[in-house]
Amino acid sequence: MLQFDARRKLAEFEWQGRLELQPGVTALYGQSGAGKTSLVNMIAGLLTPDEGEIAIGGTCVFASRKGVNLPPEQRPVGVVFQDGRLFPHLTVRGNLQYGRRRGKGSAPALEELVELLELESLLDRRPMSLSGGEQQRVAIGRALRTAPDVLLLDEPLAGLDGERRGEVLGFLERLKQDRDRVIVYVTHRMEEVVRLADRLVLIDRGVVQSAGGLQDLLGRPELQALTGQRTAGALLSCRIEQADDGDGLSRLSCAGHSLFLARLGLPPGADVVLQVRAGDVSLSLERPRRSSVLNVMRGTVERVVQEDSALADVVVNVGQTLWARVTRRSVRELALAPGVEVYATIKAASLYSAN
């Protein structure tokens, strides 16, 4: 576990966030300049807070009051930097072997890492000759080799193009299997959060705005400005019931509802997270009949949040949280208010899997 409670004056604002992170992947999300990298540097020991405390697994690594400030090499923390920072004068093998074990766990054997990250063919090459994605894979391996109790990934995909990003994301997903380690994944891309993280911490100008389970936070319209929900949408946990119902559609179950969408190519029983944009959800008071819309979910209005002069976001509990962006006129004409029963409809064509 990582406990962080420290302040530090930065150029434009003061970091004053408090965090308590459990093992598993926590995404640290915020716009650029929100203070994410400063937080990473403070945990790693590269930036000294003005005051406060930082503890890792119960061991204090920084405490201004007690005068404790362990240097980076004595903290059980591994870092994968945005720019890789491989040593250009060493081969890939030399880079992987550079680290010294510091965490409680045993260091993975070189062969193990090479297999996990598929580095076999790169071992004798120098970092300059590697592609961006390959460099980041080596950087991940190099950090893992120190068996860190806390692994900090500071926008490891930021410098990569779309294809490479996908490639490295695949490798990062393999890290999720390690359940004992606190993994902090810093990013400002929601699709990476959705794919990797169990929990989400939203940061804005050095302050922790919200922290909690991924789906919980993403379903809250008031955090929309921070999460950039307009593009990401609410998330629904579903299970595949039928891979192909004969019309090229997959049938999924979600909180007691059946949902259909274009064939996913996954077997029955597989877990899927669907991304549903607020703008793709419409509401009606009666079950729609003779409609082209396949997906209808009955639920209860929980809240209505005014978006601007014309639009509003309606939070609907359908067993899970869904939200719909509708006009204020519709809110008025349908008398949408907390407690009202509604039918939420989503076109199959606008549903897609987030993972």
Partner 1 sequence: MTPVWEIAALSLKVSLWAVACSLPAGIACAWVLARCRFPGKILLDGLVHLPLVTPPVVVGYLLLIVLGRNGWLGRLLYDWLGLTFTFTWRGAAVAAAVMAFPLMVRAIRLGIESVDRRLEEAARTLGATPARSLFTVTLPLAAPGLLTGALLAFARCLGEFGATITFVSNVPGQTRTLPLAIYTLLQTPEGETAAAWLAGVSLALAIVALAASEMAARAVRKRLS
Q: What share of the chain is helix, strand, coil (3-state, %, to 5)?
A: 25, 35, 40
**Residue 85 near partner 1 by CB under 8 A:** yes
* Contact criterion met (CB below 8 Å) for 345 and 296: yes
Contact between 131 and partner 1 by CB under 8 A: the answer reads: no
Cβ contact 297:344 at 8 Å: yes
Site for partner 1 contains 87 (CB under 8 A)? yes
The packing angle between helices 162-175 and 132-144, to 10°, is: 20
- Is 115 one of the binding residues for partner 1 (CB under 8 A)? no
Task: Decide whether 37 or 250 has the Cβ nearer to partner 1.
Answer: 37
Q: Which of 19, 79, 114, 117 binds partner 1 (CB under 8 A)?
A: 79
Comparing CB distances to partner 1, the nearer of 32 and 309 is 32
Distance of alpha carbon 277 from alpha carbon 324, whole angstroms: 8
Stretch of residues binding partner 1 (CB under 8 A), selected from 99-107, 251-259, 305-313, 340-348? 99-107
Q: Which is nearer to partner 1, 108 or 221 (by Cβ)?
A: 108
Task: Tell which residue, 175, 220, 221, has the closest CA to residue 198.
Answer: 175
2 CB contacts (<8 Å, ≥6 apart)?
19, 20, 21, 43, 54, 55, 56, 57, 150, 182, 184
Q: What is the amino acid identity at position 82?
A: Q
Instruction: Closer to partner 1 by CB, 45 or 299: give it.
Output: 45
Q: Cα angle vertex 321, ends 315, 322, to 5°?
A: 60
- Binding status of residue 143 toward partner 1 by CB under 8 A: yes
Return the residue of 83, 191, 198, 302 that touches partner 1, per CB under 8 A: 83
Nearer to partner 1, 78 or 108 (CB): 78
Stretch that binds partner 1, among 70-78, 108-116, 177-185, 307-315 (CB under 8 A): 70-78
3 state SS for 57-102: CCEEEEECCCCEECCHHHCCEEEECCCCCCCCCCCHHHHHHHCCCC
Asked if 102 is part of the footprint of partner 1 (rule: CB under 8 A), the reply reads: yes
Alpha carbons 128 and 3: distance in angstroms, whole number: 37
Binding footprint of partner 1, residue count (CB under 8 A)? 24
Is residue 112 involved in binding partner 1 (CB under 8 A)?
A: no
Nearer to partner 1, 148 or 206 (CB): 148
Residue 303 touching partner 1 (CB under 8 A): no
If one asks whether residue 141 binds partner 1 (CB under 8 A), the answer comes out as no
Candidate residues 26, 37, 136, 146; the one interacting with partner 1 per rule CB under 8 A: 146
Virtual CA dihedral for 230, 275, 215, 185, nearest 10 degrees?
-80
When asked if residue 341 is in the footprint of partner 1 (CB under 8 A), the reply is: no
Q: Minimal distance in Å, beta carbon 298 to partner 1? A: 52
In the bound complex, what is the minimum distance in angstroms from residue 102's beta carbon to partner 1? 5
Return the bridge partners of 111, or none.
none
Stretch that binds partner 1, among 98-106, 214-222, 243-251, 256-264 (CB under 8 A): 98-106
101 binds partner 1 (CB under 8 A): yes
Report long-range pairs for 332-337 (Cβ below 8 Å, ≥24 apart): 334/283, 334/284, 334/285, 336/283, 336/301, 336/304, 337/301, 337/304
Give the binding site for partner 1 (CB under 8 A).
44-46, 71-73, 77-79, 81, 83, 85, 87-89, 98-102, 128, 142-143, 146
